[in-house]
Amino acid sequence: MKLKNTKVLFILLLSVTSCTKQITDTYVGEGWSANSINTVKFRKNALTTSGNYQFVAYYDADSHLVLGKRKLQSKKWEILKSAYKGHTKDAHNSISIAIDGNGFVHVSWNHHDTKLRYVKSVKPYGLELGSEMQMTGLLEDKVTYPEFYNLPNGNLLFCYRSGQSGRGNLVLNSYDVNKDTWKQLQHNLIDGENKRSAYWQTCIDTKGVIHISWVWRETWDVSTNHDICYARSKDGGVTWEKSTGERYNLPITLASAEQAWKIPQNSNLINQTAMSTDAHGNPFIASYWNENDITQYQIVYLKDNAWQKINTGFRTTTFTLGGGGTKKIPISRPDIFINDFNKQTYINLLFRDEERQNKVSLAYASLNNRTEWNVKDLSETSVGEWEPNYDINLWNSKKELDVFVQNVIQIDGEGVAETKASKVRVLKVKNLNKLYK
C-alpha cells in the first residue's frame, strides 16, 4: 500500500510540474485593486492583439487610465500613463479597448449611466491618446457597459446600454476604418420597453456573423434575471434574425425574442458572461445558475438547429445571488472558447471559484465524447474576486491563450477595500493541447 501511495503521489507531482511548465506569467504594472474594476467580465477588451503587437489597459493606483503594448513573444511592456482618469470606486466604470484595421487604438472608459467617454490613439499602434470626442452624437448621455468588437474587414462594432438598470436599451454603432467615421446602426436593438433591461454578451465568428445572447432583468435586482435569448446578424448589424433564419422585426422585445433556454427568476442566473462559436459558426453561451440546488456552470449551444444544454456539474456548493451594485460572489462569471484538436471539439471555461481557493482555473471537456469535465488550476495563488478576460484576437489567429490577471478585492454592493495596488500580469498557456493529455 505504501508503494502504491508513493507512486500515485509521484504521478500527481509529475502532472502538476508538467502543467506549470506550460504556463508563463509576465508582469505588466501596478493596478488599482480596491475593487474589481480592472477585472470585471464585461470588459471588451482588457487585452487584445493586432498584427505583431499586444495591447493592455488598466487603472493604476491613482485611477489613471494606463495603456501598454509589447511585441508578441516579448516579456517587455511599454507602458504609458495617460492624463485620463476614471471613477474607480464604482467597478462598473471599466476600460474597453480595440485596435482597428489601420492600427489605431480605440478606448472607452468610466461609464455608469454617464456621458460617453471615447478617445483614439494619435498614431497607429501608438499609446498616446488624442482628445475626447463623440462617436455619433446620438444617445451618448447615459452610457453603461461599453464594448468594442473587431470585424474581419478591419471595422469595429461598439455596443452599450442606453438608460438605467431595469429599463435600458441596446445601442449598436459601427466604425468604418476607411472613412474614419462612426455610424449608429441600431438605436434600440433590444428594447426593455421601459420595464426591463437586456444584459448581453456578444461574439463575432470567422465569417463576420455577429452573435448576441442575453438575459432579461426585470428590476435593478440581479435575482430577477431570467431566460437566455439569442439573435444574430449576417450583414454587420443592420438586420437581425433568429437561429432558424426567421427575421426579427426590430426592436427585439420580450415577446419576440428567441428563447434559447428557459430559466425562471430566482435561479442564481448571472448576467454578462461570454459567448464563442465553433468552426461551423454554432454559438456557445456560458453562464451559471442553479440545478439540483447547486450553482453550476452551464453551457447552452446550438447543434443541428436545436438548442442544447450541458451542466458541467463539477461544483458542490451553492449561494444566494441577489441585490444590486457590483457583487462579491464566491465564483466568477465564466469565459468560454472552443478548440478543435485531435479530431475532438473541446469546450473550455476560464473561471475562479472559492472551492478552488480562488485560483485562475480552466475546465474542459470533449463535446464529441461527452467526457467528464477536467479542471486544472493555472495559477498557484488566489486572485481574489478576479473575473476572466483573455485575448480573443490572439486565440482566434494563433490559438494561443493569454489571460489578463490581477488579484483584486470586491466588497459586496460597490464597496471599496483599503488595499494597495497589485500586480497586473499576463498569464500565457504555451500549448493548451498538452494540458488535455
Reply yes or no on whether the pLDDT at 413 is more than 90.
no
Q: What is the pLDDT of residues 158-185, one digit of tens each?
A: 999 998 766 778 999 999 999 999 999 9
Average pLDDT over residues 221-234: 97
| Rg, the chain, Cα only | 21
Domain of 127?
Answer: 2-435
Asked if residues 432 and 399 have their Cβ atoms less than 8 Å apart, the reply is yes
Q: How confident is the model at residue 433 (pLDDT cuts 50, 70, 90)?
A: confident
pTM of the model: 0.93
Rounded CA-CA distance 170/174 in Å is: 13
C-alpha pair distances (Å), 291 with each of 37, 275, 308, 353 = 29, 21, 15, 17
Closest CA to 201 of 190, 191, 188, 192: 190
Q: What is the pLDDT of residues 357-376, one digit of tens each?
A: 999 999 999 998 877 899 99
pLDDT for 11 equals 36
Average pLDDT over residues 255-276: 97
Asked if residues 167 and 194 have their Cβ atoms less than 8 Å apart, the reply is yes
Q: What is the pLDDT of residues 281-334, one digit of tens each?
A: 999 999 999 999 999 999 999 999 999 999 999 999 999 999 888 889 999 999
- Alpha-carbon dihedral 341, 347, 353, 356, rounded to 10 degrees: -40
How many domains does one find in the chain?
A: 1
pLDDT for 189 equals 97
Rounded CA-CA distance 26/29 in Å is: 10
| Count of residues making up the chain | 437
Reply yes or no on whether the pLDDT at 12 is more than 50.
no
pLDDT for 344 equals 86
Q: What is the pLDDT of residues 189-203, one digit of tens each?
A: 999 898 999 999 999
Closest CA to 329 of 362, 374, 295: 295
Reply yes or no on whether the pLDDT at 45 is more than 70.
yes
224-227 — which CB contacts under 8 Å span 24+ positions? 224/265, 224/266, 225/199, 225/263, 225/265, 225/267, 225/269, 225/270, 225/271, 226/263, 226/264, 226/265, 226/267, 226/269, 227/259, 227/261, 227/262, 227/263
Rounded CA-CA distance 387/408 in Å is: 9
Asked if residues 60 and 32 have their Cβ atoms less than 8 Å apart, the reply is yes
The rounded mean pLDDT for the chain is: 92
Average pLDDT over residues 339-367: 94
Asked if residues 392 and 50 have their Cβ atoms less than 8 Å apart, the reply is no
Closest CA to 396 of 223, 263, 276: 276
Q: What is the pLDDT of residues 75-128, one digit of tens each?
A: 999 999 999 999 999 999 999 999 999 999 999 999 999 999 999 999 999 999
CATH of the domain at 46: 2.120.10.10
